[in-house]
Amino acid sequence: MDLLRWWRYLWAFGIEWDRATREDARDFMLWMKLGDKPVRVHWRHRGKDPGEISRLSRPRRPAPGTPNPVTGKPTVGRKYAPKTRAHCETVLRSFYDFHLDRNSGSLLVNPFPLVRGRRSARANAHHNPEDEHEEQRTGLYRPKIPKQVPRRIPEDKFTEVFARLRSHRDRALLAFWVATGARAEELLTATQGGAIVGQQTIGVTRKGTREYQELPATPDAFVWLRLYQEEAWKKGVPRGRRQPLWWTLRRPWRPLEYDAARMMFNRANDLLGANWTLHDLRHTASFMMLDDPDMPPVYVQHILGHKHLTTLDIYNRPGRDDVIAAGLAHHARVEQRRKTQPVRRDPQYNPESLNVLFGGGA
Q: Is the pLDDT of residue 252 over 90?
A: yes
pLDDT confidence bin for 132, thresholds 50/70/90: low
As a whole number, mean pLDDT of residues 211-225 equals: 97
The pLDDT assigned to 198 comes to 95
Q: Is the pLDDT of residue 99 over 90?
A: yes
* Interval 43-61: pLDDT, tens: 777 777 766 665 555 555 6
The pLDDT assigned to 60 comes to 59
For the chain, what is the mean pLDDT? 88
- C-alpha count within 13 angstroms, C-beta hemisphere, residue 272: 22
Cα(262)–Cα(281) distance, rounded to whole angstroms? Answer: 12
As a whole number, mean pLDDT of residues 194-209 equals: 95
Q: Is the pLDDT of residue 243 over 80?
A: yes
pLDDT confidence bin for 119, thresholds 50/70/90: low
The pLDDT assigned to 53 comes to 63
Range with the poorest average pLDDT among 190-204, 259-273, 275-289, 343-357: 343-357
The pLDDT assigned to 54 comes to 58
Q: Is the pLDDT of residue 32 over 90?
A: yes
HEC profile of 26-57? HHHHHHHHHCECCCCCCHHHCCCCHHHHHHHC
| % of the chain surpassing 70 pLDDT | 88
Range with the poorest average pLDDT among 114-123, 157-166, 194-203, 340-349: 114-123
Model pTM greater than 0.85? no
As a whole number, mean pLDDT of residues 276-291 equals: 94
**Measuring CA to CA, which residue among 328, 325, 306, 324 is closest to residue 315?**
306
Report the run of H or E that residue 205 belongs to, with start and end.
strand 201-205
Q: Is the pLDDT of residue 211 over 80?
A: yes
As a whole number, mean pLDDT of residues 122-126 equals: 56
Q: Is the pLDDT of residue 62 over 90?
A: no
Q: Is the pLDDT of residue 218 over 90?
A: yes
As a whole number, mean pLDDT of residues 313-340 equals: 87
Strand, helix or coil at 282? Answer: helix
The pLDDT assigned to 348 comes to 74
The larger pLDDT score, comparing residue 127 to residue 301, is at 301
The pLDDT assigned to 207 comes to 92
CA–CA distances in Å: residue 13 to residues 8, 26, 80, 95, 290: 9, 14, 21, 20, 53
The pLDDT assigned to 58 comes to 52
The pLDDT assigned to 355 comes to 81
- Contact in structure between 170 and 227 (CB atoms under 8 Å): no
Q: Contacts from 283-286 at CB under 8 Å and sequence distance 24+? A: 283/150, 283/151, 283/152, 283/315, 284/152, 284/153, 284/158, 284/178, 285/177, 285/178, 285/179, 285/180, 285/181, 286/150, 286/181, 286/312, 286/315
Q: Is the pLDDT of residue 350 over 80?
A: no
Q: Is the pLDDT of residue 160 over 90?
A: yes
As a whole number, mean pLDDT of residues 329-339 equals: 91
